[in-house]
A and B are shown apart, each in its own frame.
Chain A
């Protein structure tokens, strides 16, 4: 039953992607209210899925890889809803929807929605740790999206090839400011998630801890590297994409380990 919400949600994101693709193909792309509404609809249905799944499980729905991916897709949509309009990054929806669509489609088609091993009683610290970390991933995903937008805009400006999308992309300096804020937001949430992990009172697998700290150091290095290593905005944008790709791989690894060694 709960998967129906998710299928419907995925269709909403698909709608946003198809609309954008058709507009770009027609050479007249413009971010419109319909894309935002499609993403908002998808977000509501994601929330419904997580609510139903959470009630069924009697805990935060982060018990297997499938739920982790859906929670991450939800976090991406949540942060887009909060950040996109605030920073007038309306076009971000055009880049966010495909990312969410990809995550959800992969999650729905892969045989990863397996009931996890019986758990112990609900541990609030553990749930806080897991949910904070995943929401941080949402911020990192949006930083990655803003990074991609930066790279697209920068390339058009460098090569002098101006396409329809150019007029709807925000200025480079605004995108860079958004990347920085999203990185700080994600870093703050991730730090909270990481620190709370030590209060769960449960043994943490070493590989999980090392990977989590490595990701934390990577993002910390990007934030500080701007000054220490004189990273140019374009390099920061590239690193946002690289770091998020690495972080998703690590998340997969961490969750895989968690499923083998229940915490």
Chain B
């Protein structure tokens, strides 16, 4: 039995090429017959399209590539160079790296693990998995969990919006009871407001020079519009201020904020200034209880987090290496005589149904 993986990813193919291949998570039902695979599973995400298979004989890469082409791209299949192939231990290592987010565009991202679980569930339902892929994917989920628990590979936010939400969490803890004022109706402030809403914030206020735009954004993020005139007064109540107006001069200065802070001396104020030029005078950050972040500082934290994640890759790789060696031994035992069918029978039903989280 040969265990292999054939596919393309952001490492080998640009987005145009990737677009030509399977977007569905369902594998072509005829693929197994056409290629002679005993087991086959399709993992399709924005950044990768891969088939994991088990076959008695060598399976032609081109046959797999053809089966992955979307109907619209059926005539343009000249992407052989974009495809890679991993076999045996290399295939095991590749899947473990993918599941742990080590092979992702943003190192340590966890979305791919959910997608791998979904692909596995889909393949199991359609009968695409057998003892080899079952064991391989269950082990991959376990490795991903272990790497996440024992390293900092998933630590820290790596986008401006998620950095802002992370920081808010580090200042306030639970965000549900927090009040947020969105000043200006830009795209980034909308994304940040949405990210905060997804963390449970319900009191979202939107203020903009154009009342109409404020109403639109408020309805988009599930908040309410408040008048732009006298928006400073809102700072007496709110915990988080997201500012992204097109003003040429700072809207918020120490002189304006000073009297407001005297009324809220024991409550921190988190200001996210994503406007360019900045809406908030930089020296506001020196005031007691105020945490001011502009777009550069948010970006810089995102980069720091990414750097921290990269530092953790080696630790993740060493965990993976142990599991690859262990899985390799099991694989060789199966090839060496013990029948896979017997092994399949030995896998309890409960284990087959387990999707490790």
Contact = CB atoms under 8 A, between A and B. Distances in A.
Interface of A: 27-28, 30, 153, 157-158, 160, 162, 164, 166-167, 169-174, 226, 230-235
Interface in B264-290: 265-266, 268, 285, 288-289
A232 B67 CA distance: 65
Interface stretch (B33-41, B107-115, B293-301): B293-301
A232 B173 contact: no
Contacts of A166: 170
A232 B265 contact: yes
**B-side interface size class:** 20 to 34
A171 B152 contact: no
A160 B173 CA distance: 18
A153 B262 CA distance: 23
Given A164-B155, A167-B156, 14 more contacts: A27-B311, A28-B152, A157-B170, A160-B293, A162-B305, A164-B152, A169-B170, A171-B170, A171-B172, A173-B171, A226-B266, A230-B265, A230-B266, A232-B265
A162 B304 contact: yes
A234 B169 CA distance: 18
Contacts of B308: 27, 164
Interface in B166-218: 167, 169-173
Contacts of B173: 170-171, 173-174
Contacts, number: 62
Contacts of B300: 160
A233 B289 CA distance: 8
Nearest to A167: B155
28 contacts: A27-B308, A27-B311, A28-B151, A28-B315, A158-B285, A160-B293, A160-B301, A162-B305, A164-B155, A164-B308, A166-B170, A167-B155, A167-B156, A170-B173, A171-B169, A171-B170, A171-B172, A172-B170, A172-B171, A172-B268, A173-B171, A173-B173, A226-B266, A230-B265, A231-B265, A231-B266, A232-B266, A233-B268
A50 B246 CA distance: 67
Contacts of B305: 162
A3 B277 CA distance: 66
A234 B152 CA distance: 29
Nearest to B178: A173
B152 A167 contact: yes
A167 B293 CA distance: 18
B301 A162 contact: yes
